[in-house]
A and B are shown apart, each in its own frame.
Chain A
Amino acid sequence: MIETAEAPSSSLVEGAEPPPPRTSPRTAARRGGPRPRRTPGLVLSYGWVALSAVVVLVPLAYLASLSLMTQGQISAGLLLPAEPAWQNWGNAWNSAIPRGIANSLAAAFIGALLTLALALPGAWTIARHRTGGSALSGLILSPWLLPPVVAIIPLLTLLRLLGLINTLPGLTLVYALMNVPVAIWLLDGFIRRIPVEIEEAARLDGAGELQLLFRVVVPVLGPALIAVGVIVAILNYNEFLFATFLTQSEGSQTVPVVLAGMLSERVQDFGRIAASSLLAVIPIFTIAVLLQRHLVEGLTTGAVK
């Protein structure tokens, strides 16, 4: 599989086939690869896929429905609001939620950019030159294995030393470091798919290692960098444990922390919490839908060989 900047690598996951014309099963099999024949099993497959879609969508639709109900309507056991209670959304908008979303987005994206900057040179060197040997490439993912609770107290102490506790920059810095192992792991899959010949040709043309990295590897890796960046940003946006400890002050809280705070209020207002949750999900869903090809590509790259 030769992937270059001209042929966006997302075609790999989109399916190696061109959009299959609906012809007879035989030609379809020849053109589009292993298309199973039409059997009773196919009906079962469609049924299962439909069921999966329902299982995914019903809870989300229920959340949307809750966000438009008053507490009374919810307790009465309604599934759909009799008349939409839009005030839930107004209440959500006039709370700490928008600020939390802004904080989350800032920490997520600046953190992701820093992660890429830290991880890319390392990933390339480890994949191509085996610097650090098998020990380094084997150890890279080790911080990911244990619950992150483990790292909290040591990191808390470190941030206190740096004077960054309870600040957004402090949290962003932790996010930037935290994802370097995952980013290296994901980038490794992409780097291995770049034909070595491209790099060798550039080297023969007299490119030094730095030029090679920035003039050859980075442009070819473009789509992959977006994929990994988006995944890391989503991980950051969703992160809760570190955020709740490293941002105690109200101005620096991220959106999961604000939401968890709403849950611990004495009287829970389901409708307002549902509307706030949906508000918090909107940015991340938008990004995911817009960049879904890149996202999918990044998530599966470890499995594709």
Chain B
Amino acid sequence: MSTDQLQRSPAAPSPPPHSPRPPAGSGPRRRRSDRFLHRVFVTPSVLTLLVLALYPLLFIAAAAFSRSSLGQPFQEFSGLENLRTAAGDPAVQDSMVLGTGYALGVAAASTVLGTITAVALWRSVRSGAVLRTLLLLPMIVPPVIVGILWSFIFSPSGGLIDTALRQFSSYSGTFAVLSDTSWAIIGVAVADTWEWTPLVVLLVFTALLGQDPEILEAAQIDGAQPVQQFFHITLPTIAGTVAAAFLIRLILAFKVFDLVYVMTSGGPGSSTQVPAYLIWRAALQNFDVGMAASITLVLAVVVTLVTLPIFYLTKRLRDD
């Protein structure tokens, strides 16, 4: 500390302009105490990681290899039995296929729609604060309410779609989206896309605002057509953000639970039984924590396999 003050005092000769800045915390004593403080600062974060990641991970691993119920975990060691049962169970396999398809579909839909909306928004209103807040609304509606809202819209007795069909077409049957085995998951996906596309819009819109104006101006002066400008300048600058948005959206979609819980409870049959819902049922309806833990491990493998390539793609696009 004293050396710092010395160098700052007017009496001390000012350092020659090209000499490197004096090291920030000079003296070994200060550096050691700083390092100690830094460790103190990081402690809450590390503790959080331990409570939120390591402890559940160990718990799940232990539960997967033992017979465990909700009240009495770790009753006896059962080896690979749970995992073998989970991986071989057609219901689990179906759920993983459903979950992966759902996540990829919903992420793709949100990313495409969100990117188009962001570009349209950017082309028509440069700042668009009011519109942007408006378009943001679905994201801050609690998912439980989003589920309720779309259940009403899809309701066959007086729902929005049902009513609109009756009033504006000659349709007279009942179209019950959420109680149809092949349409129910699409109904959930529509609600999910409605809720989270605004996030993509926001991320891409900001990336568009962050473009270097000079490059685009130069291209305009050089006579580049709007379409050329878009594909050669705009698209490359937002590609990394679009990929990152897809990745975030994919992870969010793999976690969908509230919407399924409120809209379909996994049904009809098992047609909307996404992995998170299946795990919830195993653990908190059947109280089989060992099985729930094993399904979780299977899901972890599936999520990793699906997201890893996209993760690396995103990284490459963003580092460019």
Q: Given A41-B123, A126-B42: A149 and B134 within 8 A (CB)?
A: no
Stretch from B82-90, B104-112, B152-160, B177-185 contacting the other chain: B152-160
A203 partner, pick from B25, B158, B229, B283, beta carbons under 8 A: B25
B306 shortest CB reach to chain A, Å: 11
The answer to whether A209 has its CB under 8 Å from any CB of chain B is yes
In this complex, which of B38, B142, B166, B255 has the most chain A Cβ atoms within 10 angstroms of its Cβ?
A: B142
The answer to whether A205 has its CB under 8 Å from any CB of chain B is yes
Is the CB–CB distance between B244 and A303 below 8 Å? yes
A47 to B244, CA, bound (A): 27
In this complex, which of B60, B117, B124 has the most chain A Cβ atoms within 10 angstroms of its Cβ?
A: B124
B146 shortest CB reach to chain A, Å: 9
**B interface residue count range (under 10 / 10 to 19 / 20 to 34 / 35 or more):** 35 or more
Chain A minimum-CB-distance residue to B258: A240
Which A-B residue pairs are the 7 nearest by beta carbons?
Answer: A33-B213, A122-B45, A34-B216, A121-B41, A238-B142, A300-B206, A48-B120
Is the CB–CB distance between B124 and A63 below 8 Å? no
Is the CB–CB distance between B125 and A148 below 8 Å? no
Q: Which residues of A contact B296 (CB under 8 A)?
A: 146-147, 149-150
In this complex, which of B24, B37, B73 has the most chain A Cβ atoms within 10 angstroms of its Cβ?
A: B37
Judged by DSSP, the binding face of B is helix
The answer to whether A94 has its CB under 8 Å from any CB of chain B is no
A124 to B289, CA, bound (A): 38
The answer to whether A184 has its CB under 8 Å from any CB of chain B is yes
Chain B minimum-CB-distance residue to A40: B226
A121 to B38, CA, bound (A): 8
In this complex, which of B4, B48, B153, B211 has the most chain A Cβ atoms within 10 angstroms of its Cβ?
A: B48
Q: Given A53-B134, A56-B134, A139-B53: A150 and B279 within 8 A (CB)?
A: yes
The answer to whether B175 has its CB under 8 Å from any CB of chain A is no
Is the CB–CB distance between A140 and B45 below 8 Å? yes
A196 to B117, CA, bound (A): 36
- The digit string for A74-85, where 1 denotes a CB below 8 A from any CB of B, is 111111000000
A231 to B103, CA, bound (A): 24
The answer to whether A23 has its CB under 8 Å from any CB of chain B is no
Is the CB–CB distance between B226 and A285 below 8 Å? no
Is the CB–CB distance between A303 and B254 below 8 Å? no
A299 shortest CB reach to chain B, Å: 6
Q: Given A259-B145, A305-B210: A79 and B163 within 8 A (CB)?
A: yes
The answer to whether A180 has its CB under 8 Å from any CB of chain B is yes
Is the CB–CB distance between B51 and A280 below 8 Å? no
Judged by DSSP, the binding face of A is helix
Q: Which residues of A are interface residues toward B (Cβ below 8 A)?
A: 13-17, 19-20, 29-30, 32-37, 39, 41-42, 44-46, 48-49, 52-53, 55-60, 62-63, 66, 74-79, 117-119, 121-126, 129, 131-132, 136, 139-140, 142-155, 157-158, 177-178, 180-181, 184, 200, 203-206, 208-210, 213, 234, 237-238, 240-241, 245, 255-256, 259-260, 263, 270, 273-274, 277, 280-281, 284-285, 288-289, 292-293, 295-296, 299-300, 302-305
A105 to B152, CA, bound (A): 26
Besides the known contacts A36-B226, A48-B116, A208-B37, 20 further A-B residue pairs in the complex with CB atoms under 8 A apart: A36-B123, A52-B201, A59-B194, A74-B158, A77-B158, A118-B48, A119-B44, A122-B42, A142-B53, A145-B251, A145-B307, A147-B254, A157-B59, A177-B51, A203-B25, A238-B143, A241-B257, A263-B262, A296-B136, A303-B203
A50 shortest CB reach to chain B, Å: 9
A125 partner, pick from B38, B49, B138, B307, beta carbons under 8 A: B38
Chain A minimum-CB-distance residue to B307: A145
Is the CB–CB distance between A213 and B133 below 8 Å? no
Is the CB–CB distance between A14 and B129 below 8 Å? yes
Q: Which residues of B contact A184 (CB under 8 A)?
A: 45
A73 to B136, CA, bound (A): 31
The answer to whether B131 has its CB under 8 Å from any CB of chain A is yes
Q: Given A60-B137, A146-B300: A200 and B24 within 8 A (CB)?
A: yes
Q: Which residues of B contact A35 (CB under 8 A)?
A: 126
Is the CB–CB distance between A147 and B137 below 8 Å? no
* 16 A-B residue pairs with CB within 8 Å: A14-B127, A17-B127, A53-B131, A56-B138, A62-B149, A62-B153, A118-B48, A126-B42, A148-B257, A157-B59, A240-B258, A245-B284, A256-B258, A280-B142, A284-B142, A299-B203
Q: Which residues of A contact B280 (CB under 8 A)?
A: 149, 241
Chain B minimum-CB-distance residue to A260: B144
The answer to whether B239 has its CB under 8 Å from any CB of chain A is no
Is the CB–CB distance between B217 and A34 below 8 Å? yes
A59 partner, pick from B150, B206, B220, beta carbons under 8 A: B150
B191 shortest CB reach to chain A, Å: 9
B275 partner, pick from A123, A132, A147, A273, beta carbons under 8 A: A147
Q: Given A63-B152, A131-B38: A259 and B21 within 8 A (CB)?
A: no
A124 to B37, CA, bound (A): 12
A303 shortest CB reach to chain B, Å: 5
Q: Which residues of B contact A44 (CB under 8 A)?
A: 120
A123 to B43, CA, bound (A): 11
Is the CB–CB distance between B303 and A145 below 8 Å? yes
B164 shortest CB reach to chain A, Å: 8
A305 to B45, CA, bound (A): 24
Q: Which residues of A contact B289 (CB under 8 A)?
A: 153
